[in-house]
Structure 1
């Protein structure tokens, strides 16, 4: 090896330059400059005095012109000398500035030469440290040499500087080779137990840091690749260990590697290098590609349990890393999440839930043409024992609680699948099977069942389902906004599904009304065919036997509805429909029983009062233990229901009061105007038809009615409750469309014969028309009298 130039051979040139710079007589220059300046100032002062004297004695000088010319010439001479002196001073000042510049350059040259001497000495020292493998001292010397070389960047054209830079580059490469060889030798062969603190690697790490980022990155890449070489060999995607069901083994392997690094290898590297994070980053990159290729290969036969097991293991590992470093995964590893590899395949989870729901509902869907009782007989009054989306347990079908519990569990599982969880797709599956459950499971039972308790259970289930739709939509929306991180994310809407359950509830309610109608058949048959015909009654009793049968039929259904229907709004709705049913069928039966005699009408009038009381008490608003709303029994609800009962009875009561009165025309017309309170002749004729009077025999009553109208033409309206009365018992008004069917009893031959009635097409004439008809009818009668 060539011996470098000794540092003592250089300073001779520096001493010579200092000697030359010291020979300049700086004091003489300053003295000459001071004398010139003083002479120049003296000449200027003398010229000024002469000018003043000339100005003071201008007149005498005019007389002595030659002397003045001489004086001016003297002044010009002085001015010329002053200009020359000033030029000389400028030249001397420029020389002085050049001397100052030369002095500064000499000082800078001295500093540069001294730093060059330091560079040579440091390079020599670094070479000796490399020979002795003193890496810690070599790292400090290397940093000093690099700092000195940075100073000599402007002198790259100087041959001696170029020589030193080339020598330093050779030293840099030599150090790089040495430290990498140290690391290569240390990590080349596996060891049972090894502590890096006992090696030269901690000092070599300082040299690597001094060599720069390129050497450091090359070293760390080599180390990480070597450490993960075994991982790539063991967990190949085509081998058993690399399959999806062995994902947890991958994370166990990297945990062991990180533990080995922390306990044995960490002292060989500087903490600022974050080698453990580099290991994690490389592991994440390799694992992500392996998972993606495995999922692509296994997609045709991908099983949801295997997928979720692998995903949960991945998420647990990511969470553990985040907890260990107290930072998010992306900041620790600096790469995408491993769980992102599963995102394109999470639809398997949704498909599995769809299939599970199909199997679940297939067990409860009634077979075509089969009995619906089998679908609900398992738990017609079961109360949910597991938490569900509703706040309070209700008597519902067990299938509905199983469905809601499954929804709750799968929604939570889906939300735990990570930021790519297919919550919205799962919500679409929920909507699909909620509607199928309402239409395929509940609706057939509501349409086919005749069991009151079963129908109450279906009604509760439908109400429970509608509430569940609202709450489920809210929870899905919360999950979506939590996953998407946006408070204004589009909400989940299940309005169509909620409407499906409400339609089922309406169907169940109609079926309950149908059941009530069936239970009342005996009472109305007793009214239609009493043991003693109504035409043979001789007195009026407190109530007829049919009233007790009516009360028994009402209560047989009402007690079940009141006790088993949880939502009291439906109880009230059923009671409203029951009132309409009872009053409509009662009026229909009265029409069938014509001709109506006064004593029968009086008996029915007494019976109607009992029916009114019975209907008023039907909902049991004040029954102990029953809650109608959040604040107890609602006074407004009671009042509105009472008005409904009174309006319904008011359609029957005036008719009976008129029919129970005297048959004499004037008295009957007076009773009609008092109780019915209208002046429509067709309505009055309906009561005459109910009396059994034939149209040709109604002339006295019509005449009395028209006479009463003439006496008070505008006292009463032209319409009343009788306007909707139809004398055909099979008319549409008695069909009760909310029952879904129409009772046709036209085949009944036991009804008394009754005269034909005008069809509903003959509408009531207006009051002016009837006045004209009455006047002409009266004139005709007068002409016929003798």
Structure 2
């Protein structure tokens, strides 16, 4: 073995210096080498162990005969490795020489390239100097050319200005306005070019001459118009050319010319229809309309052709007519305030509104507030102060007025909405909209007083009609709402539409809402409630005369709904039942319509103007005194109180119906304590249950028939009726003394039968059988659970009085001390004081314990009850026997 190691370690090759080669590498280097050049030779492993390798090759002593072959194999492998190493070393030396040669060649190339760069840099610097010299010369030439061109143009402009000033003077003297207009425009353009040279005396002198010519020209044109306007009946060619010159001059000239023309056209109108004249009153509004239509058509036919289209003189004439009409009507109404009535206002407003619509149809699309601001220094109304009018069709031909149909325009807009889903852009407000009719806004209180009076008279007629109204039986498909309800809200709708038209789409709307509120309260209390049978009026009290204390009215109505212990109201006939049902349905309809009316009023209030449109200061002064009649907007525009009042009347109707049915049931329920409850055996249900069922099957279907349009309130009626019957039945059960256990079983049987009757009550004699509402079933079951539990406690057998207390607490944890005393009275116990004291102590202890831990108390109570009940098998057998008997009779 030692010989093999020595031969493996020997190396006679002197060409390789093994001391200079790294014989040890790190594990990471060896792992990387094996990953690149994988091999299975154990000598390549970093964990190679010579002893382990020899033991592996020679595991036993008998394998040593292969020693020579292994040595020969190792020699051959070592020779191959040495040869490969020598080749790699030689190749490395060759590659090192080649790399050095390449590096020297690259360094030489870099030195040559650097020298070439230096040569290029010097050449480019020389070229840049030559280019700078060339461009400097070119810039000098360009500057000289530009200065020369500017000088020539300036001299030409100066020559043109000099000649133009002279020509303007000669043309002004000859009034050659047609040739003067383009010349003046050209001179003004030249002056704009020479504005930089006004510091030069010659240019300054020419500029002053141009300004002086403009002023003289303005005065001359205005003088020509003043001298010709009075006798102007046909278009003047000279004045038409003068308008072209004025179009070049300052805009104040155009405004002055238009004021002269408009003032001349409206001179006759101003004199004839002044506020103090007979024709200036509201009844002569139609004469104003006819005068304007005639004057507008005549002006369009003659003088309108004399002015440039951009001036829009016909539109300005129409606007001035509207403003003058507004001033005159305002003055007339201020002088004759006592003669103003609602009829005159409505008639005048209708005619003037139609005239505004005609003007908007002809000029509204081309004449806006911007046109007024462009040529006027007067104060104009803001677009937000004028209520928008519905879009107007502009299909009328020029020079003719075509009446506008609101219905057709609305229909057209609806049809177009189907074709284009995108909403049309909002139309710009027109200065004509409300320009005349806004004069009536300070006098809206007169119209409001008329509306209030009309509503009051109508309610009086409703009151008279209701007294003689016949509440006949209606068919199922018909509604039994009182006709006056529909008439009232139709009248409200018409009044709202009329007021919105008169009040510029809702100015002063809160005042109308206040009237609506007061009249709705009057209708609810003086019409609907007065229609109820006279027996229901008892205890209602006197209504406030001014009808303003709405809370007092509601509290008085609702006081009828909370009466306890009073005598039940009974309706005398079927007609009174129909009357109450009709009032109930009518109150529901009124509450619904009041809610819709409130939504509509809020919508209109949001769009309504909050101040009087004010096109000019004089109009504001005239309207200031009368506008005090229009009160400010209330903080809360709501009809919720009136809607609640209708609901109160509705609840009173339900109370009347419930009281009527209950009053007929009282006799049957009152007979319960009068029966003998010391029975020896149970039988069928008692006679009072059958009589009660027969009565309900007669009266309830009648109520359901007349409330066929209001199933929700019929359900309320059934809830209240069933709750009242259950309460009275429970009270009568406490009065059934003396009673034995068999009597308790009979009462329990009657209780189940009554529950079946009440559960079936909503669908009695109905063609359509449907299950009662879950809430109704739950209410009936819960209401009759108390007498059932009381009877179970009373009929039980106890070995000690404390068992009675424990069972009462277990079955009825919420049983009061007074009710427990009634249970003891049913049991016939004479000495009740100890049991009452024990019950009081137990309930107080258990209430304190339940406040800390409810679950533990419940568990303790159940355990105690189980331990203290005597003879549980006997009691359970009695209850099971009773339930079996009830099921046999199909009562449960």
Specify the TM-score bucket, using the shorter chain as the normaliser: 0.5 to 0.7
CA distance in 2 between partners of 1:573 and 1:462 (Å): 15
Deviations 1:276-331 (A, max 9, x none): 23313322331221122223234344322322333343343334333333157645
Matching residue of 2:181: 139
Aligned partner of 2:645 in structure 1 is 500
Aligned mate of 1:359, from 438, 442, 457:
457
Is it true that 1:229 corresponds to 2:267 in the alignment?
Answer: yes
Q: CA 1:445–1:676 in structure 2 vs 1: closer, same or farther (change >3 Å)?
A: farther
SS in 1 for 2:720: helix
> Compared with structure 1, are the counterparts of its residues 165 and 642 closer, same or farther at alpha carbon in structure 2 (3 Å cutoff)?
closer
Deviation at 1:640, TM superposition (A): 2.8
What residue is the counterpart of 1:407 in the other structure? 492
Q: Find out whether 1:608 has 2:647 as its counterpart.
A: no
Contact 1:292 1:341 in 2 (8 A): yes
Paired residues in the alignment total: 576
Equivalent residues of 1:183, 1:201 under 8 A apart:
no
CA contact (8 A) 1:414 1:421 kept: no
Q: Which residue of structure 2 lines up, in the alignment, with residue 77 of structure 1?
A: none
- Residue of 330, 336, 341 corresponding to 1:303: 341
Among 307, 321, 326, the residue aligned to 2:365: 326
Q: 2:606 aligns with which of 481, 492, 495?
A: 481
- Over 3 Å counting, the alpha-carbon distance change for 1:397 and 1:674 in structure 2 is same
Give the aligned partner of residue 19 of structure 1. Answer: none
- 2:728 aligned partner: 585
Structure 2 CA distance for partners of 1:717 and 1:395, relative to 1, 3 Å:
farther
Contact 2:581 2:703 in 1 (8 A): yes
Counterpart of 1:646 (choices 758, 781, 792) is 781
**Structure 2 SS opposite 1:695:** coil
1:284 lines up with 2:322 in the alignment: yes
1:220 maps to 2:268: no
Question: What TM-score do you get using the length of structure 1 for normalisation?
Answer: 0.61
Structure 1 position 466, deviation (Å): 2.9
Structure-1 residue corresponding to 2:299: 261
Residue equivalent to 1:347:
445
Q: Would the aligned equivalents of 2:471 and 2:579 in 1 still touch at CA under 8 Å?
A: no
Partner of 1:439: 525
Residues of 2 paired with 1:657 and 1:149: CA distance?
117
Which residue does the alignment assign to 1:558? Answer: 700
1:57-76 superposed matches below 5 A:
none
Task: Judge conservation of contact 1:280–1:333 (CA < 8 Å) in 2.
Answer: no
Where do residues 687-698 of structure 1 align in structure 2 (5 Å cutoff)? 687=823, 689-690=825-826, 693=828, 695=830
- Hey, what's the Cα distance between the residues in 2 that align with 1:278 and 1:715? 93
Select between 325-334 and 400-409 the one with higher mean Cα deviation. Answer: 325-334
Distance, in Å, in 1 between the alignment partners of 2:472 and 2:603 is 33
Pairing 1:558-577 to 2, within 5 Å after superposition: 558-565=700-707, 566-577=709-720
Most deviating of 680-689 and 566-575? 680-689
CA RMSD of aligned residues (A): 5.1
Aligned to 2:12: none
Q: Counterpart in 2 of 1:50?
A: none
1:318–1:329 Cα contact (<8 Å) kept: no
Summarize the Cα distance change of 1:496–1:537 in structure 2 as closer, same or farther, 3 Å threshold.
Answer: same
C-alpha separation between the residues in 2 aligned to 1:574 and 1:112?
102
Change in 2 beyond 3 A, CA 1:538/1:249: farther
Q: Do the aligned partners of residues 645 and 190 (structure 1) sit closer, same or farther apart at CA in structure 2, a change above 3 Å counting?
A: same
Distance 1:393 1:409, change over 3 A: farther
Alignment of 1:512 onto 2:647 = no
In the other structure, the counterpart of 2:121 is: none
Inter-CA distance 432–114: structure 2 relative to 1 (3 Å threshold): closer
User: Is the contact between residue 382 and residue 397 of structure 1 (CA under 8 Å) also seen in structure 2?
Assistant: no
Distance 1:242 1:657, change over 3 A: same
Contact 1:322/1:329, CA 8 A, preserved across alignment: no
Shift of 1:642: 1.9
Alpha-carbon distance in structure 1 between the residues aligned to 2:207 and 2:800 = 142
Distance (whole Å) between structure 2 residues aligned to residue 127 and residue 688 of structure 1: 129
Per-residue deviation, residues 45-94 of structure 1 (Å, max 9, x unmatched): xxxxxxxxxxxxxxxxxxxxxxxxxxxxxxxxxxxxxxxxxxxxxxxxxx
Give the whole-Å Cα distance in 1 for the aligned partners of 2:655 and 2:307.
81
Aligned: 1:418 with 2:510 = no
Q: 1:602-641 residue pairs with structure 2 within 5 A?
A: 602-620=745-763, 638-641=773-776
CA 1:167/1:403 → structure 2, altered by over 3 Å: closer, same or farther? closer
Task: Map 1:739-758 onto structure 2 (within 5 A).
Answer: none
Q: Which moved more, 1:208-217 or 1:462-471?
A: 208-217
In structure 2, C-alpha distance between the alignment counterparts of 1:567 and 1:174, rounded to whole Å:
84
Residue 32 of structure 1: aligned partner: none
CA distance, structure 1, for counterparts of residue 727 and residue 189 of structure 2: 109
Superposed displacement of residue 124, structure 1? 5.7
Residue pair 2:455, 2:519 contacting (<8 A) in 1 also: yes
Alignment counterpart, residue 469 of structure 2, candidates 362, 370, 377: 377
Corresponding residue of 2:411: none
CA distance in structure 1 between the aligned counterparts of 2:247 and 2:178, rounded to whole angstroms: 11
Classify 1:376/1:674 alpha carbon distance in 2 versus 1 (closer, same or farther; 3 Å): farther
Alignment check: 8 A CA contact 1:380 1:457 kept = no
1:159–1:411 Cα change, 3 Å: closer
Indicate the larger mover: 477-486 or 573-582: 477-486
CA deviation vs aligned residue, 1:131-153 (integer Å, no higher than 9, x gap): 76543124344555666788899
Partner Cα distance (2:153, 2:788) in 1: 127
Secondary structure at 1:479's aligned position in 2?
helix
- C-alpha offsets along residues 642-667 of structure 1, whole Å, 9 cap, x if unaligned? 22222222233345567678xx8769
Q: Write the distance in 2 (CA, Å) between the matches of 1:122 and 1:665.
A: 134
Contact kept, 8 Å, 2:169 with 2:213, in 1: the verdict is: no
Cα distance in 1 for partners of 2:778, 2:473 equals: 34
What's the TM-score, normalizing by structure 2? 0.54
Deviations 1:249-287 (A, max 9, x none): 434433332322222112211222221233133223312
Q: Secondary structure at the match of 2:274?
A: coil
* CA distance, structure 1, for counterparts of residue 600 and residue 745 of structure 2: 62
Q: C-alpha separation between the residues in 2 aligned to 1:667 and 1:161?
A: 132
Contact 2:286–2:351 (CA under 8 A) maintained in structure 1 = yes
User: Are the aligned partners of 1:513 and 1:577 in contact in 2 as well (CA < 8 Å)?
Assistant: yes
Aligned counterparts of 1:689 and 1:211: Cα–Cα separation in 2:
114
